[in-house]
Structure 1
Amino acid sequence: MPAIPRYCAQESRTFLATFLSAGFRPFFLAAALWAAVALPLSIAYFEMAAELPTRFSPSIWHPHEMAFGFGGAVVAGFLLTAIPNWTGRMPLQGAPLAGLVALWLLGRVAIFFSASVPAPIAAALDLAFPAVFLLVVAREIVTGRNWRNLPMAAALALLFVGNMLTHLDAMNIAATGVFGARMGVATLAMLVALIGGRITPSFTRNWLAKTLPGAVEPAPFGGLDRFALAATLLALIAWVAFPDARATAILEIIAGAALFARLMRWRGANTGAEPLLFVLHLGYGWLALGLLFMGANEFLGVTDSTAPLHALTAGAIGTMTLAVMTRATRGHTGRALVADRGTAAIYVLVTLAAALRVSAPFTGEYYFASLAVAAGLWSLAYGLFALLYFKMLTGPRARSDA
């Protein structure tokens, strides 16, 4: 009989050792589960006047938890997995990784129940994760002398500041909640432009060389790419500071057009046979479309500002997030870089969710129904990821690659 508890204890230790062996494992799973839960809560809180035990207003809680909660976990999972490849240093794992995950979870609990605790305490508990994570990433980049990726530390600093600004609003110190939320969204969008712009043509080039020898390869990084990234950065800064200015709209249109031109040079039309790759192009396309729509809507006024904004968030950030999470999970657990039917279904669901959310203002009396269905599709996409990828995220690498 004593052998049974010892066996269970050994199994638990093996499970935890595997689960905490790389940052993408706990953080991708946590991000997917929170995305699946938080969005329906947001719809209920914002549209149905449901009560949540948070001191954040509905208009702030939703972007806060999407940008700094869900987005923070995705960024952590990606960077903690990518940085060891960039620096050649050992990844954060074991107890230190568990501590970082615990800080993220503590932040979610603190925000959700913030109406029941003093605002400064809720703020301190929530800001602990981005502060510690920033220090971890900065240490790895500096120690590894990986100066090329210092912008990643700058992005984390902006996420910390944006998060802090929302707390200043919640504490009635300054009316900076909306500004802070925009800063969070803009930072994530810029990361899509930078990281998506790095991996999409690279993976496409490798795939074309293997499956379609002789096909025209994606254009190398050049002047158009630099211009597109600079224009995107300038447009996002202008949007954060002056969201309704005509000059901002012009910058958004220029940036969106430049990103679209950049995307067209990556030969995405040749990748339709592999959804795991094509979805990267789709996510980047949402980024270009979102900026174009935001700028054009300022001049044409065809809808309220939430529709083009969600092309950027639900479309670009939501799609690129799932594209990276599925690909990184499969690659780092020894699975084939091929989308199975379940993975393809995830991409279809998140695309339908984004398209329906963007078009919701045009549905008239069916507006709320459109929002509800879009939220349901989004939750289903991320819930399906958590379900289908659970064994990959918590189990050992595939034996064929051992």
Structure 2
Amino acid sequence: MNDTIAALATPAAPAALAVIRISGPESRRITELLLRKPVSWLPQKAWYRELWDGEQKLDDVVLLYWQQPRSYTGEEMVEISCHGNPLLVDRILAAYFSRGVRAALPGEFTQRAFLHGKLDLTQAEAIADLIHAGSLRSLVVAQQMQEGRLGRKLADARAELLELIAHAEAFLDFPDEDIDPEVGEEMLRRIDRLRSELAALAGTAPMGRLLREGITVVLEGPPNVGKSSLFNAILRQNRAIVSPHPGTTRDTIESLCQVAGYPVRLIDTAGRRTAEHPVEAEGVLRAEEAVRSADIVLHVSIASEPPDADVSAPIPLLPHQRLLRIANKSDLGVHPEHRYHLCVSALTREGMPELDQLLAREIAALGPDAAAGGAVNARQEAALRRAIAALDQAADAFRAGLACELWCLELRTALQEVGEITGAVTSEEILDEVFRRFCIGK
């Protein structure tokens, strides 16, 4: 924390501009060593200057100074906007490195911001989610997390826990002062209410996983029902080869898209039938494997055919998976006894808007709405589950009439777990876990 770091904050590729960040106590002084014309270093004021490394001109740049503690990291900080040639960027960084500045590690700027109290750990994690968001809903949820919505809820939970612990420990420390702990139903109500709030936050983890990794939607069914045509229609591009000959699709084909703002990993599969060729048989096997990994399965049939014409029953699904029966080729007619969720035509796009809406409803049903306060990640969920378990133990001990010290110890465990989520209680191991997937320069 006492050294000065630097890194490129924009992609390392040719561009109109590049931004280099320097943060630490020596950022301003070392920048002055590269200037022939001084600047006054007024905070948040830009200067157009030339950077020099001895007698070698580096580039024409714009300097922006951020004064401690009102910078992103909470330290003295200089940002350099230069031409976006990677060779120029490397020369400027080399000039700083030769003067004692160190190359920043992945996520080190954000880690310094956390350590200086500029944000909590949930906000730091949200920054990584914001950078990698692959859909509109992922972006919105990451922005809400970055604003501190989850952190504020957890801060309220910690305050409630501290109040309960303080009351109980006052009774332990001063038993002769007639300070009684809250007893009976009121104490249990407070613990149960707190447990419900934490459980609601933990319940957003499934949707958080889907928003970060994408919802897997697999098209499966017999050959020649138009799975590849439907795949292309959902994507709104010709991604899969379409042919009237059975067995055209012999491997799974994947593509990323958005449905109602959700990130979707769409997979087209080979038609399920008794394969005559070993390559086609492998394709059928991979189709079954894809279905087993799906969040939502679209079993595709032909709309004009009677229900018993589809002899390929859907593959048995796991409890968390959702099945939608889609009848394609509705432009050729719809059988009066059809029993499908929806009839569509990939050719004319009839029913495709309704399919988007149906998919959006099914995706939303996979987990609680994350829009209200963000969606917790795996690390946060694990800590919440441990906190909930400790609260359960505290309530059980209280109901059993055990000593105050025992259930108070469980409340302290819950406080520790909640604190680990926001970073109020942290360790080097937790910080390594949070910042290891950040990009350099952030």
Whether these two folds match at TM > 0.5 is no
Q: Which structure features the higher share of helix residues?
A: 1
Q: Structure 2 length normalisation: TM-score?
A: 0.26
Which protein is bigger by CA-based radius of gyration?
A: 2
